[in-house]
A and B are shown apart, each in its own frame.
Chain A
Amino acid sequence: GENVEQHPSTLSVQEGDSAVIKCTYSDSASNYFPWYKQELGKRPQLIIDIRSNVGEKKDQRIAVTLNKTAKHFSLHITETQPEDSAVYFCAASIHPRGGGADGLTFGKGTHLIIQP
């Protein structure tokens, strides 16, 4: 099955600096890679995603890059703000053998801390 590795587990950056979180996946059939932000006691919230036919996607201060050959994808947050502090999860799609909707396998998460 799919295996997703995520690094680092904790990332502390100064407010205003950039943060980068990296993930690798194992199943070359995966074709969808979302990133979720989860604040303490709340639900995971989708912040950005990318499909395998695209190399990069940007939404304001957040960008995601995908290298299909190397099976790497990364989240980039620029001009970090205190409200960016949270746990961030990467994920990759899992395809059911018999057809139907994909599930997601998640990385272990990165605790991002923005220092004022």
Chain B
Amino acid sequence: DTEVTQTPKHLVMGMTNKKSLKCEQHMGHRAMYWYKQKAKKPPELMFVYSYEKLSINESVPSRFSPECPNSSLLNLHLHALQPEDSALYLCASSPRETGGYEQYFGPGTRLTVT
């Protein structure tokens, strides 16, 4: 398997809801990432995990809570979001910890907060 997969593709949630985004890769990569992309803007780094440990948190509000249960899986737990959090959430993985630099992106989850 040479792809990063993300579920769900689309998510609509209210400001009081709790939901989770899921990302999976089976390429043996030990670095995984969450990025946020608003329309007509570049991806913005949110979190980096290396060997299932959080190594970068780019000052993301606590209503976003990442989790890396194992080397293939990355979750993003969402709670009490605001309408301005509506965006495309991209997951990526990289062989960085084992020598490669490239980051490969999943298709994203398009999130709408109402």
Which residues of A come within 8 Å of B, CB atoms? Answer: 32, 34, 36, 42-46, 49, 51, 89, 93-94, 96, 98-109
Q: Known: A43-B107, A44-B90, A101-B96. Contact between A96 and B102, CB under 8 A?
A: no
A89–B43 touching, CB < 8 Å: yes
Quote the shortest CB–CB distance from B46 to chain A (angstroms).
9
Q: Which residues of A contact B80 (CB under 8 A)?
A: none
- Scoring B44, B55, B97 by chain A CB atoms within 10 A of each residue's CB, the highest score goes to B55
CB distance from B87 to the nearest CB of A (A): 14
Q: Most chain-B CB neighbours within 10 Å: which of A32, A36, A104, A105?
A: A104
A44 touches B50 (CB 8 A): no
Chain A residue contacts of B94, Cβ below 8 A:
101
Contacts A46-B103, A103-B48; A89 near B42 (Cβ below 8 A)? yes
**Judging by beta carbons under 8 Å apart, are B43 and A32 in contact?**
no
- Check if B45 is an interface residue, CB within 8 A of chain A: yes
With a cutoff of 8 Å between Cβ atoms, the chain A residues found around residue B56 in the complex are 94, 96, 100, 103
* Shortest Cβ distance from residue A21 to the other chain B in the assembled complex, whole angstroms: 13
Which 10 pairs of residues, A with B, have the shortest CB-CB distance?
A: A100-B55, A101-B31, A100-B50, A106-B42, A101-B96, A103-B45, A101-B50, A43-B105, A96-B55, A32-B101
Chain B, 17-46, contact with A by CB distance < 8 Å: what is the 0/1 string? 000000000000011010000001111110
